[in-house]
Structures are given as C-alpha cells and as structure tokens.
A and B are shown apart, each in its own frame.
Chain A
Amino acid sequence: MDDLLSVRGLEVEFATDQGPARVLDRISLDIGPGEVVGLVGESGCGKTTLARTILGVLRESGGTIRGGEVWFKNRDLLREDPGLVNDEVRGRAITFIPQDPWGSLNPLFTVGTQIMDLMKWKSPRRHEQIRSAAHGPALFHRYPRGRRRADREATLEILRAVQIPEPARALGRLPHEFSGGQRQRLMIAMALLPSPDLIIADEPTTALDVTIQAQILRLLRELVKERSVSVLFTTHDLGTAYEICDRVVVMYAGQEMESAPTDVFFHRPAHPYTRSLLDSLPREDGEIRDIPGEVPSLIDPPTGCRFHPRCDRAAPECKTRRPDVELVGDGHRVRCCHPLSVP
C-alpha cells in the first residue's frame, strides 16, 4: 500500500432518541504522501465525524465505530494500542488545525507557554529521552534543558515561517493580543511543529475575511508542499477547496459520492450531486439555482441511492439499487447508477 492514510469501509453510528443514526456509511478514503485532499459536503454529511474518527477522538463526541479500518503507515489505528496511538500518532504524526483558534488556546497562558507545553509531549525530538522518563505522573515529567532549547529554536523558526512579526516577543503574549488571522497562523505553526505526516484541517479559514483567507490558504499550501506533509482539508466552501486541494472528495449523507483530481472535479464532475452543488454557487449573471428538497435524515435514509429524492436524473432503478463506488477515469471514482458522461 503506497498510501499514507487509507480508510476502508468505515461505519460510525450515533445513538439518538429516534434510533441509531448512521453518520458514516462504509466510507473509504485514501491520502497519498504530500497530497492535499479536500473533503467537501453540506453540514451534517459526516465530514467532521470522519476527521474525528481518523484522529481517534470520536468517542468524546458520543459516536460508536461499527466497522471498518483506518490504516495509517501500515498500522490500523482502530485496533492499535490506544496508549501507543496517543504517544506516537495523535498530535505527533497526525495533527489538527481547528476552525476556531479561540477554542484551542487558553486565554490565561502566554502563547509561548502553550507551545512549549505542546512541544514537551509532542516534539519530534522527544523519543531521544522518552523511555527514561516514561513512568510517574505526567506532572513530574522533566523537560530536559537541552531539548527545551532546541524546541524553542524550532518554534521561533516556524513562527517566522508563518510570518508572525517578532517571534521571540510573540511567545510572551497572550492569545487575545493576536488578531484572528494571526491566531490561525499560530494554529498552523502548532500543527507543523511536531513534524507530522498528516494534518487534519477542519474548516480552518471559514471564520476569516476573504483577504486574510487568501493569505492563510497561500501560506498553508506553501508550507505543506515544502515539507511534503499531507493534508485532509474539510470545508463547505467549494472555492476554498479549488484553491488549495490536489484532489476533492464530496460526501453526502454519510457516503462518499465522488472523488476526483481538483480540475476534473470542478470541470467534469460525473455525479449529479456534485454538479448540483457547483450549480448552486452564486453566478455572475445573477441566476440562482438551488437543489430542491432537504438533506435526508440519517436515522431513516432513503433507499437505494441516498441522493435520488433530490436528483434530476433519478430513474426507478435509483430507488432500489444501492450504487457502489466505481472507477470512471484516472483517479476518478463515483457512486452513482447513472453518472454524467465523462469524456
């Protein structure tokens, strides 16, 4: 397997008062080394749940994994020893950029304290002494001075890379002294510091203004390409996905509907849902086209193809047959009984 991350047939359920809601329905997803993959879809389609399952923090939000595998560097994270995943994968090999940096920074501590606290546990240099200090409560673990100095140097270098002015002084500031754009730059820096193989970015630019968004997107793309880090970028904004991604996967009601290289996805979509989604973007001539109907309930999803009640190409067959994902072109996969013709 040459993929860095390979999700196979993942099924996740949430218990609700009305019964179990199948939020992820046999999802498969591959991310190659250095690839930026966009995960798009409407709210409630399961993008965040997928991101959380990969990170291994699903249980905190109340979901249950019913089946499937998450292969990361030839290890199944779902069946691996949780302590080992916590130590070597989460926050180390896979890091996270949140939508809202406010939720991830403690307002009472300086940015420097918080970054060094992260580095104490997740620094790429940590394995050099991990075994000697691995017993006793976390509170008493030492942070050797030599490593601390090296980590601080690395931190300053990354802060320069994300263009935080005066990095050394910035470390002594509190989170509220930074603007929203700068806080997001700090989150990018913190996600890069442990030298990860994969960054999961959950709508990282949704809360920003367009001019700042353009700056952050450019910065993020440059930094991850330089370091050949893979990124799973979830967003509901198709324009952002077009900007930053090498490949785009679109999800609908817990299933992946289409996956294609960015240019193919936007210019020659094969799934009617992808086309409707692109058509519903505001157009320059002022015409507005919406998708009739609403996102289906995940407790009692439609039979057959999940998109058929809203699809303009739906045939009687779509109501009964559950389409499988099929390859229609180079790296172009579609889940549809009657895909649009692909030249």
Chain B
Amino acid sequence: MTNGVISATPLLEVVDLARYFPTRNAFGRRTGWLRAVDGVSLDVRPRETLGLVGESGCGKSTLGKTVMGIHTPTAGEIRFLGREIGRLRGGERRRVARDLQYVYQDPGASLDPRWKVARSLHEPLQIHTTLSHGDRAEQVQAILRAVGLPDAHLDLYPHELSGGQQRRVGLARILTLRPRLIILDEPTSGLDVSVQASVLKLFRRLQETFALTYLFISHDLAVVRAMCQRLAVMYLGKIVEVGEAAGLFDEPRHPYTRSLLAAVPRIGGRRVTQDFSLEGEPPNPREIPSGCRFRTRCPLAQEICTEQEPPLRQIDGRLVACHFA
C-alpha cells in the first residue's frame, strides 16, 4: 500500500501479475513472447476510482482483462475480496463474476438485438440468483430507474432505443447483480464531449447509489483527472508511477508521466504544438529495451538506465519507477 491515509483493506490486490502472449512465425512455431503485462502490482480500495492510463499497446486493457479472467495470468496473483481468483476455474470462477464486472467501450453493443430489454436484464439474475420472477422484475425496474430510463423501455428492442439509451441498458444489465468492482475499459472513447459528460455523470451517480468501486482504464487524461482519486500510469507492460490523482497531475515525477501530461491539449493555456518535445513512438513490445523501458525516448536517460531496470520506489507517498525521480 502506498501510504497510511486510507487504512481499509484493498478490494482488489494485484501482485506481480504478468501476462505474456506467444509470438509465432509463419509455421506456427513460437519465436518469443510478447510481454503485454510484465510484473504489475496494484491495489484498488473500496469505493474509490482508480485510473489506469497509458498509450495504446501499453497493456492496460490486457491487465483489465486478466483481472476479469478473460486472460489467464502467466504469473502473479490476483486477490479479490481477500481470495486468490487468478487460478480459479469453471463454476468457481463464474461465481466471482457476481462481484466483478467488466464494461467494454460501448456496453449497449453487447445487447442481443432479438431480445427485449426486459429479457436482457433478467438474464444475469436468472443465472446467478434463485430469485422468483416477481422479485427479479422488481429489481430490474429499480435498476432501470437508477440508470435514468422509464419502465416502458422494458418492452422495447435495442434498435428502438437511441445509442445513449442502449448504453444505459447495457450498464443496467451489469448492475443488476450489484457488483462490488467494475472495470471500465475506455468507457468514453469516441464520444462527443456533451455525451461524454452525461456518461461520466451517470457513472458518478451509480457509484454513489450502489457503493461501487471502479477501475477506470482510459487514455484520456482529462477525463481521468475529473473522475479518479488515484492514478496508475503504465508504459510497455510496467507501471511507472502510482499516486493521488491531484498530486500526480500537479507534479508528475516520472519523465514519461511528465511527457504524457504535456501532450494533452489544454484550452486557454500554452499550445502543445509550440513546445512539445517527446520524440519517437513507443518501441515494439516484442523487443522491449534493456533496463528502463522508457529510456529510448527519455530526455534524462543515462548509462544506468540501460543497465538496471528501476524498481517502483516510494517517494513522498507516491510510487515511481525511475532512477532520477
């Protein structure tokens, strides 16, 4: 744990988690490993929103999916509600899904077009609970109202709803089981700002109503700043900095975090196009640089960076993986 401010035991604890994918040549023979998530430790505390940011290909979605059980971990542990869940199989693993849910970019797109909204919302309860039809209907109505839709929508098919309403139904479907932790994977990418604002507002309201905890995966730093209490920054499969969101935005310690924040257009401020200096693109994750992974683009890089991989060190209540932080 980073500091003693919040003493509650974490809801989710990830310890040295790794997920490698084999890379194969044209004959299907394995030629190496793509280390998408490579030794990540993280904890998510009850009722907080933890932001997980990084550029595409840094492994943030793989991390989310490994926690959710969509990928099996190559190494490391996932402790959820005090229990190791990374190695669970079959029915045992499925029972975890009651408390741990995953929301894709557009939750509305996962609705069955041939099912009425009511059936879609009843299904999770039928699978995971033994409630009677009447009890289920009551719960479904309550959830639908919580996401801001009228009861009449229960009798509609997804195509009769607007995109925003479909999204709300998709969220309602996830909420019917009253999960504890929800992993939101890029929930606002591709949305217009005004729609984005209403989606974020909805996430906030639901968090209060249902005492939810969010792991908020996003590449949009402005959104993350508005939504999250804490933030973890990933680069090429590793976490480079973790800390309170406000402090991290005001005074980033890792050179990568600094460049990332500097790249965000800020209306009214100086223009990024005038003085943004980070050169190059992230290296191929199949050929990870030796030592510090960021050194190939880092303005501070020195010899030690090629030789030693910097560990996550605690500096002023923050975790930073840099030799010069």
Encoded as 1 (CB less than 8 Å from any A CB) or 0, chain B from 194 to 207 comes to: 11111011001000
Encoded as 1 (CB less than 8 Å from any B CB) or 0, chain A from 270 to 289 comes to: 00000011101111101111
Interface residues on chain B, number (Cβ under 8 Å):
39
A221 to chain B: which residues have CB within 8 Å?
Answer: 273
Determine which residue in A181, A215, A282 has the highest number of CB atoms from chain B within 10 A of its CB, and name it: A282
A289 to chain B: which residues have CB within 8 Å?
Answer: 197
B312 at the interface (CB under 8 A from A): no
Give CA–CA (A267, B55) in the complex, Å: 30
A180 to chain B: which residues have CB within 8 Å?
Answer: 56
A44 to chain B, nearest CB (A): 9
B195 to chain A: which residues have CB within 8 Å?
Answer: 42, 290
B196 to chain A: which residues have CB within 8 Å?
Answer: 280, 282
B83 at the interface (CB under 8 A from A): no
A238 at the interface (CB under 8 A from B): yes
Specify which of B222, B268, B278 is in contact with A211 (CB 8 Å cutoff). Answer: B278
Whether B201 lies near A288 (C-beta < 8 A) is yes
Give CA–CA (A43, B268) in the complex, Å: 24
Whether A210 lies near B267 (C-beta < 8 A) is no
B265 to chain A: which residues have CB within 8 Å?
Answer: 214, 237, 239-240, 242-243
A98 to chain B, nearest CB (A): 16
Give CA–CA (A212, B279) in the complex, Å: 9
A228 at the interface (CB under 8 A from B): no
Whether B197 lies near A291 (C-beta < 8 A) is yes
Whether A282 lies near B223 (C-beta < 8 A) is yes
Give CA–CA (A252, B200) in the complex, Å: 22
Specify which of B219, B225, B281 is in contact with A179 (CB 8 Å cutoff). Answer: B281
B324 to chain A, nearest CB (A): 20
B276 at the interface (CB under 8 A from A): yes
Chain A residues proximal to chain B, CB less than 8 Å: 42-43, 179-182, 209-215, 217-218, 221, 236-240, 242-244, 266-267, 276-278, 280-284, 286-291, 294
Chain B residues proximal to chain A, CB less than 8 Å: 55-56, 162, 164, 192-198, 200-201, 204, 219, 221-223, 225-227, 249, 259-260, 262-268, 271-274, 276, 278-279, 281
